[in-house]
Chains A and B, each alone.
Chain A
Amino acid sequence: MSGTDEIRDLLAAVALGAATPEEVARVEAAAAADPALAVELAGLRAAADGLALDVPQGDPSPGLKASLMAEVRGEQPRAVPAGRPARRRRSAWLRPWPAVAVGVGAVALALAGWNIALQLDDAPARRVVSVAVQGTEDAPAVRGQVVLAPAQDAAAVFLSKLPPPALGRAYELWIIRDGTPVSGGFLQPVGAGAATAVVTGVAGASSLAVTPEPPGNTSAPTAPPVVRVQLPA
């Protein structure tokens, strides 16, 4: 078995956290020198990360929060070290949706269609709905699905057939409420042209959008959306 084959043989174990520290070090060193290997490892890690949500859900006791907050509030306030640049810009909710996105026009940005495909729970407050989506005219091949779980104030987004973003950009999800986008974080690549994200805080949002953005941007979209999804009221 060649060195490359041996490394590839270890990728899944590394992604699952089932490799030894020495094996992890070897794989990460190889991935650092081989972009194709790095992409493969990232895809397997994204799949492994999804397993964390594949568990029966339950709530911790109220005492956990009380204990945790008592410890947190009991610590001295911290100052951000001088000279370190601010990691974030001013709050996203203070900024308007940029003209570049609005200018493309509501018709062009709207989905060709969406439908509610699933209703897995009879209780309206907990009703889970799935919205099938397709790309805007900037990326008409994009297909995907947004699954809303109101009981958890969360949405899971799955997209495929995404065009490669411009160099130095990655796809970012935006939660749009009252016309103002708030970052929902960057989507995780899970293979060629495919990406996924799970976000919370979607209650009251009118739509979701995805735009190609430079890493670290959380203030406002800077490019037209490749997907914009109207959410059911």
Chain B
Amino acid sequence: MAPAPSPDDLGRLADEDLLARIEGGDADAFELLYDRHARVVFSLAFRLLGDRSEAEDLAQDAFLAVWRRSASYASARGSVRTWLLGIVHNRGVDRLRRQAAAVRRQEALEWQALATAPPPDAADAAVSRVMAGAVRQGLDDLPPEQGQVISLAYFAGFTHHEISEILELPLGTVKGRMRLGLDRLRRSVGDPGLAES
């Protein structure tokens, strides 16, 4: 491994270069990667699990996976942040699915009711909105029935079969709403009109 750079120099490295150093056991590089992404990792974990202690446990689990398996990152499949958040999501959904189905179903229904409440902090909501960019705008603009199935799938960890049961809808309807909603989100990210607004 190359000689350790100064803290200032380390701070100028891209995430991918930090991962290369982490692969060689550089704890300083790992600490910097943590500092860059801890907020979004914890926030997603908390959104999935709804409990601060469990969310921190999940965040720790995800970061330790990065420390121990940084070599599994493939840049062609997206940014380091996307990869890290994918680890959080996959492991978070695994935890959700281990919970009793009845409890999860009740929580999902309660969450659906809370989802219409206004955000507690306008500034944080604004920053969050900007960070999520066009995807967030697209989610806001989705027809409610499409946003509902996407939220139940991504944030509550239900399969399309389970969503079909929860909402008492034909499986084909659920899959159709998922497809239409996600396709709409995809198009909104690449919408030239957004760039020129």
A144 located at the interface, meaning its Cβ lies under 8 Å from any Cβ of chain B in the complex: yes
* CB atoms of B127 and A152 under 8 A apart: yes
Complex Cα distance, B157 from A113, in Å, reads 44
A53-B136 contact, Cβ under 8 Å, with A17-B89, A175-B14: yes
B160 located at the interface, meaning its Cβ lies under 8 Å from any Cβ of chain A in the complex: yes
* CB atoms of B39 and A185 under 8 A apart: no
Interface residues of B in 167-192 (CB under 8 A from A): 172, 175, 178-179, 181-183, 185-187, 189-192
A133-B195 contact, Cβ under 8 Å, with A154-B131, A185-B79: yes
A55-B128 contact, Cβ under 8 Å, with A60-B59, A201-B11: yes
A54-B139 contact, Cβ under 8 Å, with A46-B186, A59-B42: yes
Interface string of A30-44 (1 = CB under 8 A from B): 000000000000011
A10 located at the interface, meaning its Cβ lies under 8 Å from any Cβ of chain B in the complex: yes
Tell me the smallest distance from the CB of B145 to a CB of chain A, in Å.
14
* CB atoms of B196 and A143 under 8 A apart: yes
Chain A contacts for B133, CB-based, 8 A:
50, 53, 147, 156, 158, 196, 198
B109 located at the interface, meaning its Cβ lies under 8 Å from any Cβ of chain A in the complex: no
* CB atoms of B14 and A60 under 8 A apart: no
Complex Cα distance, B154 from A145, in Å, reads 27
Interface residues of A in 145-180 (CB under 8 A from B): 145, 147, 149, 151-154, 156, 158-161, 170, 175, 177
Chain A contacts for B144, CB-based, 8 A:
none
Interface of A is mostly: mixed
* CB atoms of B175 and A13 under 8 A apart: yes
* CB atoms of B2 and A19 under 8 A apart: no
Complex Cα distance, B74 from A218, in Å, reads 13
Interface string of A88-113 (1 = CB under 8 A from B): 10111100000000000000000000
Chain B contacts for A120, CB-based, 8 A:
123, 126-127, 129-130
Which single member of B37, B127, B161, B175 contacts A9 (CB below 8 Å)?
B175
Tell me the smallest distance from the CB of B167 to a CB of chain A, in Å.
13
Interface string of B78-101 (1 = CB under 8 A from A): 111110011011100100000000
Complex Cα distance, B192 from A200, in Å, reads 24
Complex Cα distance, B110 from A29, in Å, reads 37
A-B interface pairs (CB < 8 A), number:
310
* CB atoms of A91 and B81 under 8 A apart: no
Tell me the smallest distance from the CB of A231 to a CB of chain B, in Å.
15
Interface residues of B in 116-174 (CB under 8 A from A): 119-121, 123-136, 138-139, 150, 153-155, 157-161, 163, 172
Which single member of A52, A80, A128 contacts B88 (CB below 8 Å)?
A52
Nearest CB to that of B68 among chain A residues?
A: A75
A44-B183 contact, Cβ under 8 Å, with A53-B128, A58-B43, A147-B130: yes
Complex Cα distance, B120 from A57, in Å, reads 11
Complex Cα distance, B127 from A208, in Å, reads 20
20 contacts between A and B (CB under 8 A): A17-B90, A44-B186, A46-B78, A50-B134, A53-B85, A53-B128, A53-B131, A75-B25, A78-B25, A87-B23, A91-B13, A91-B17, A120-B127, A126-B127, A151-B127, A153-B36, A170-B76, A190-B189, A194-B190, A218-B17
Interface residues of B (CB under 8 A from A): 1-2, 5, 9, 11-17, 20, 23-25, 27, 30-31, 34-40, 42-44, 46-47, 52, 55-56, 59-60, 63-64, 67, 71, 75-76, 78-82, 85-86, 88-90, 93, 119-121, 123-136, 138-139, 150, 153-155, 157-161, 163, 172, 175, 178-179, 181-183, 185-187, 189-192, 194-197
In the A-B complex, list the 8 residue pairs whose CB atoms are closest, starting with the nearest: A194-B190, A50-B135, A18-B153, A88-B20, A47-B186, A55-B47, A52-B85, A12-B178
